[in-house]
C-alpha cells in the first residue's frame, strides 16, 4: 500500500498527525533542542543529521499531513485556484532578489515601506503589493502596519551564502529554463539530445549545458557555488559519502574520483581514511585550479601525498587501470541515458577482477511511496535534470536498464542508501 492509499479522511490524518507531533516534540525535549518556531532566530534545521530514523520519519509525515489536509480542506476548486500562487511566488522571489530587498531590510528591527522603496528605487505601491505577497509565503513579516522585518526564512537567505547563490540561480537560470519546457519540446519533439533542452531554448544556444557554462565565467562560478550549496544540504551531506560505504575495508588502495571537480569529496574521504589514495579527474580547465585549492587547506601537507589530479574527460576511455574503486558521485544524473551508458562503458576496460564502480546518485522513489513533501522535491529535481540536460533522476529499474546496456557487462553487487540521504551507493563489478 502506498502512502497516498493510507489515511484519507481529515480525522484519520489529524489522529496520525498528533502522534507524529508528539514523537517529534518528545525527541526534541529529550535532546534539549528547541521546538520549531516562527521566531526569526529559530535554528534553520529542525533535526540534527544523526536524529533517529523514526523521528526523521515523524517529521516527514507531519509535512505530508499538512499538505494533504490543505488539499482536503480546499477541495478541487480552491486547490486549483491556489495554483496561481506558485508562479507569483517565483515572480516575487525574482523581484526581491533583483532589487536587493533581502539586504535592504535590516537583520534586526524593521524598515518602513516608504524608506525601503526609496532605497530600492521602486514605487511604494509596488513594494507593498509584492512584499505582502512574499509574506504569505513565509518571506518577511509586517510586525506593525507599514513596517517590514525579516522572517526566519528570509533572514536565513540573507545570511547564508549558499542560499543567496541558490536564489540567484533560480531567478536567472532555472525559471527561464522551466518556462521554456513546452517551447523546447514543441521545437524538438521526442528528442532526448543534450542540445535540445529547455535550457538550450531559453538561452538560444546549440551547446550542451556545461559547454555553454564554460563560455559564461560568471554563470559558471555561480553554478560551482550552487553545487557547494547543494552539498551543504543534509540529504546530500558528505557525511553520507563517508559513512555510507565501508571505505576502510579497501585497505591500501586507490580511488579514482571521476568528474571530481577540485576534489572536495576526495579530500573529505582522505581525512577519514589514511590508507587510501585518490586520483581526482575532471576537465583541464577545472583541474588547472585544483592543486591551488588543495594547497590552501590547513592540512594540505598531509593530504598532498595522497591526492593527485588528472585532466580527463569521462566521455573518453579511462586511462587509470586496476584501481580499487571508480567513484561517480552525482555525475550520471546530469546525462541522458545513452551518454550514461557511454560513460560507464569507458570504465569497464579499466576494471580488474576486484575493481568496482561505485555510483552515488539519487534513487527516485516509486510514486506515492514516500511522504508527499519529500516526493515533490524528488520530482522537482527530476524536472530540473530534464530541463537542463534531457536527463533525469532515476528509479532503481532505470539504473538497472542502464547497467544492462554497458558494453563488457556490469553486475550490481550491492545497493545501500544511507539514512537521511537522497542518494544511494550502487556498487558494480564485472559480470
Instruction: Output the pLDDT for position 279.
Output: 98
Instruction: Output the pLDDT for position 50.
Output: 84
Please check whether residue 2 lies inside any domain of the structure.
Answer: no
Name the burial class of residue 281, with classes exposed (0-12), middle (13-18) and buried (19+) by CB atoms within 10 angstroms of its CB: buried
Cα separation, 222 vs 165, in Å, equals: 7
Instruction: Output the pLDDT for position 6.
Output: 55
DSSP code, position 1: -
Instruction: Output the pLDDT for position 153.
Output: 96
List Cα–Cα distances, 48 to 55, 120, 256, in angstroms. Answer: 10, 38, 31
Instruction: Output the pLDDT for position 393.
Output: 94
Domain harbouring 266, CATH code: 3.40.50.150
Please check whether residue 401 lies inside any domain of the structure.
Answer: yes
266 in the same domain as 150: no
Cα separation, 431 vs 17, in Å, equals: 47
272 in the same domain as 312: yes
Where a domain ends, among 229, 257, 283? 229
Instruction: Enter the C-alpha cell of residue 300.
Output: 594540505
Where a domain ends, among 229, 257, 273? 229
Cα separation, 65 vs 181, in Å, equals: 31
Cα separation, 238 vs 236, in Å, equals: 6
| Range of the structural domain that residue 180 is part of | 161-229
407 in the same domain as 282: yes
Please check whether residue 79 lies inside any domain of the structure.
Answer: no
141 in the same domain as 29: no
Please check whether residue 321 lies inside any domain of the structure.
Answer: yes
CA angle 421, 423, 429 (to 5 degrees): 135
Instruction: Output the pLDDT for position 1.
Output: 38
Strands 111-112 and 253-258: unpaired
Is the whole-model pTM more than 0.75? Answer: yes
Where a domain ends, among 208, 229, 250? 229
Instruction: Enter the C-alpha cell of residue 5.
Output: 492509499
Please check whether residue 114 lies inside any domain of the structure.
Answer: yes
312 is catalytic: no
363 in the same domain as 282: yes
List Cα–Cα distances, 358 to 107, 213, 344, 394, in angstroms. Answer: 44, 27, 11, 16
Please check whether residue 184 lies inside any domain of the structure.
Answer: yes
Please check whether residue 282 lies inside any domain of the structure.
Answer: yes
Number of H helices, E strands in the chain: 21, 9
332 in the same domain as 283: yes
239 in the same domain as 171: no
401 in the same domain as 336: yes
> Which helix (H) or strand (E) segment is 33 a member of?
none
Q: Which of 296, 335, 295 is nearest to 313 (CA)?
A: 335
Domain harbouring 127, CATH code: 1.10.10.10
Number of compact structural domains in the chain:
4
Of the residues 150, 312, 333, 346, only one is catalytic, namely 333
Please check whether residue 25 lies inside any domain of the structure.
Answer: yes
Cα separation, 40 vs 108, in Å, equals: 10
183 in the same domain as 197: yes
From first to last of the 431 residues of the chain, give the pLDDT tens digit: 345 445 679 999 999 999 999 999 999 999 999 999 999 999 999 998 889 999 999 999 999 999 999 999 999 999 999 888 999 999 999 999 999 999 999 999 999 999 999 999 999 999 999 999 999 999 999 999 999 999 999 999 999 888 899 899 999 999 999 999 999 999 999 999 999 999 999 999 999 999 999 999 999 989 888 887 777 677 788 889 999 999 999 999 999 999 999 899 999 999 999 999 999 999 998 899 899 989 999 998 999 999 999 999 999 999 999 999 999 999 999 999 999 999 999 999 999 999 999 999 999 999 999 999 999 999 999 999 999 999 999 999 999 999 999 988 899 999 999 888 889 999 999 98
193 in the same domain as 53: no
Amino acid at each position: 500500500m502506498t502512502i497516498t492509499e493510507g489515511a484519507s479522511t481529515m480525522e484519520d490524518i489529524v489522529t496520525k498527525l498528533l502522534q507524529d507531533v508528539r514523537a517529534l516534540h518528545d525527541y526534541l525535549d529529550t535532546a534539549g533542542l528547541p521546538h520549531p518556531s516562527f521566531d526569526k532566530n529559530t535554528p534553520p534545521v529542525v533535526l540534527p543529521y544523526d536524529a533517529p530514523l523514526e523521528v526523521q520519519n515523524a517529521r516527514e509525515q507531519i509535512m505530508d499531513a499538512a499538505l494533504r489536509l490543505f488539499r482536503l480542506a480546499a477541495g478541487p476548486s480552491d486547490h486549483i485556484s491556489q495554483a496561481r500562487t506558485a508562479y507569483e511566488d517565483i515572480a516575487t522571489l525574482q523581484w526581491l532578489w533583483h532589487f536587493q530587498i533581502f539586504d535592504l531590510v535590516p537583520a534586526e528591527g524593521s524598515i518602513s515601506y516608504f524608506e525601503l522603496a526609496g532605497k530600492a528605487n521602486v514605487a511604494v505601491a509596488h513594494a507593498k503589493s509584492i512584499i505582502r505577497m512574499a509574506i504569505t509565503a513565509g518571506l518577511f513579516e509586517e510586525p506593525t502596519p507599514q513596517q517590514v522585518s525579516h522572517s526566519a526564512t528570509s533572514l536565513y537567505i540573507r545570511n547564508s551564502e549558499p542560499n543567496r547563490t541558490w536564489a540567484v540561480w533560480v531567478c536567472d537560470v532555472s525559471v527561464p529554463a522551466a518556462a521554456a519546457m513546452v517551447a523546447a519540446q514543441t521545437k524538438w519533439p521526442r528528442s532526448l539530445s543534450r542540445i535540445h533542452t529547455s535550457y538550450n531554448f531559453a538561452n538560444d544556444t546549440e551547446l550542451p549545458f556545461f559547454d555553454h557554462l564554460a563560455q559564461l565565467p560568471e554563470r559558471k562560478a555561480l553554478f560551482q557555488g550552487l553545487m557547494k550549496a547543494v552539498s551543504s544540504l543534509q540529504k546530500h551531506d558528505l557525511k553520507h559519502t563517508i559513512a555510507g560505504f565501508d571505505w576502510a575495508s579497501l585497505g591500501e588502495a586507490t580511488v579514482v574520483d571521476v568528474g571530481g571537480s577540485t576534489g572536495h569529496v576526495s579530500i573529505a574521504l582522505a581525512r577519514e581514511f589514511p590508507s587510501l589514495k585518490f586520483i581526482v579527474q575532471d576537465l583541464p580547465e577545472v583541474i588547472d585550479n585544483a592543486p591551488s585549492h588543495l594547497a590552501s587547506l590547513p592540512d594540505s601537507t598531509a593530504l598532498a601525498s595522497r591526492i593527485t589530479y588528472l585532466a580527463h574527460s569521462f566521455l573518453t576511455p579511462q586511462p587509470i587501470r586496476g584501481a580499487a574503486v571508480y567513484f561517480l558521485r552525482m555525475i550520471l544524473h546530469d546525462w541522458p541515458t545513452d551518454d550514461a551508458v557511454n560513460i560507464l562503458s569507458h570504465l569497464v576496460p579499466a576494471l580488474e577482477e576486484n575493481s568496482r564502480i561505485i555510483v552515488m546518485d539519487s534513487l527516485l522513489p516509486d510514486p506515492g511511496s514516500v511522504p508527499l513533501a519529500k516526493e515533490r522535491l524528488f520530482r522537482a529535481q527530476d524536472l530540473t535534470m530534464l530541463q537542463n540536460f534531457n536527463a533525469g533522476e532515476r528509479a532503481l529499474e532505470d539504473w538497472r536498464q542502464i547497467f544492462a546496456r554497458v558494453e563488457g557487462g556490469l553486475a550490481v553487487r550491492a545497493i545501500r542508501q544511507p539514512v537521511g540521504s537522497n542518494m544511494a551507493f550502487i556498487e558494480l563489478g564485472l559480470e
